[in-house]
Amino acid sequence: MNKENTIGLVTPEVMTVQEKLILESGKTLDSFDITFEVYGKLNKDKSNAVLICHALSGNHHVAGYHDGDEKPGWWDNMIGPNKPINTEKFFVVSLNNLGGCHGSTGPTSMDPKTKKYFGSNFPIVTVGDWVNVQKILMDHLKIPYWQIIVGGSLGGMQSFQWAIQYPSLIKNSIIIAAAPRLTAQNIAFNEVARQAIMKDPNWHGGNYLEKNTSPEQGLALARMLGHITYLSDESMGEKFGRDLKKSKLGFDFDVEFQIESYLRYQGEKFVSSFDANTYLLMTKALDYYDPLKDFGEKFYERLRETDCKFLVVSFTSDWRFPPVRSREIVKMLLHSEKNVSYSEIISGGGHDAFLMENKDYFQIMRFFIDEVHNSV
């Protein structure tokens, strides 16, 4: 295990909230837990706090190692000593969002009222709900405002939402590979994934944990479908092409092409670390996200209130959230007379490019973040 140039071993923390939380759906949680991690130190005037918002299958563990882990957090190439998000300069906070399955209260948690797993009875949560919970975590850590909020994909939507929902509490927003709302095609992908899960014979109306089982086949199929949309045709072609797993065709329906083997592996690996109900919740949060509709006439008013500066980043081969969707966000910000920088990175990595090392991408991130640090 090579822990050089990382923040080393990290230990998750838990915030327990005993106050009632009212969700956008109107439903409530009497109490809840949020699992989070922190890296670096909060400076004396508390002006160096950075929030990391995760995407659909992410969690709080973005950097460093947990004891016994072979692999670091999912964004370890971006966060750490002397990395673009430099933990020697910033106090970095990451959390597992409400409804998650990595320690925060969600469908795999016990409902204190019924003494059973929440399962499919866990309420639908929105990006706005997550931002409200992140605000509670900010207060818990005694942080007066976020110097930077960073996120890719669904995480980028949360960063954008902060500037609208709490315009005075964010100084800089980095929105990567995101969109201001989902297209019909993206909603369709999410619906097919949900149907794959809910048609699994082990679904049991979403209460599969009470049956000591899980809709693993459906969740694996959902992940396989999602993974196809996260890659580009170029990246799949370069990595797999039409390579066969065996020396010749088998003339059957077993795994024959390397890409088939890869997708099945990704699906099988995913079901060991993720919950099907959480997957459904995350896709619904994506589908519902539409701040222009939600805030109506106040949308641009709220954006004009904030002094936040923005960096919007897209990737040329991302067809899930292509550059044109990022440019929609840029146009909204320019219409609100905001200070916004936009970068379209040449990359063959598809939607997942925001997780990959890319010289131009990392230079732009480092330049923007260093400028923020120098201005503090």
pLDDT per residue as tens digits for the range 265-297: 999 999 999 999 999 999 999 999 999 999 999
Is the pLDDT at 114 greater than 80? The verdict is yes
Is the pLDDT at 187 greater than 80? The verdict is yes
Q: Name the nearest CA neighbour of 349 among 204, 152, 100.
A: 152
Range list for CATH 3.40.50.1820 in the chain: 13-181+290-375
Is 232 strand, coil or helix? coil
Percent of the chain whose pLDDT exceeds 90: 97
Do 264 and 240 meet the contact criterion of CB atoms below 8 Å apart? no
Range list for CATH 1.10.1740.110 in the chain: 186-283
Is the pLDDT at 312 greater than 90? The verdict is yes
Which H or E run includes 300? helix 298-305
Give residue for tokens 């369709």: 188
Is the pLDDT at 3 greater than 70? The verdict is no
Across the beta sheet with 339-345, the strand order is 13-17, 32-39, 91-95, 49-53, 148-152, 172-176, 309-315, 339-345
Q: What is the mean pLDDT of the chain?
A: 96
Name the band, by pLDDT with cuts 50, 70 and 90, for residue 1.
very low
Cut 0.95: pTM above it: yes
Distance CA 18, CA 162 (A): 24
Instruction: Tell me what pLDDT residue 4 has.
Output: 64
Is the pLDDT at 77 greater than 90? The verdict is yes
Instruction: Tell me what pLDDT residue 324 has.
Output: 98
Is the pLDDT at 74 greater than 80? The verdict is yes
Q: Which CATH number fits domain 186-283: 1.10.1740.110, 3.50.50.60, 3.40.50.970, 3.40.50.1000?
A: 1.10.1740.110
Question: Which whole number is the average pLDDT over 146-153?
Answer: 98
Q: Which CATH number fits domain 13-181+290-375: 3.40.640.10, 3.40.50.1820, 1.25.40.10, 2.70.70.10?
A: 3.40.50.1820
Is the pLDDT at 161 greater than 60? The verdict is yes
Is the pLDDT at 2 greater than 70? The verdict is no
Instruction: Tell me what pLDDT residue 5 has.
Output: 78
The amino acid at 271: V
Name the band, by pLDDT with cuts 50, 70 and 90, for residue 376.
confident
Distance CA 186, CA 325 (A): 12
Distance CA 242, CA 247 (A): 12
Residues annotated catalytic, as ranges: 153, 318, 351
Is the pLDDT at 142 greater than 50? The verdict is yes
Instruction: Tell me what pLDDT residue 7 has.
Output: 93
Distance CA 335, CA 89 (A): 33
The first and second tokens of residue 251, run together, are 């003339």
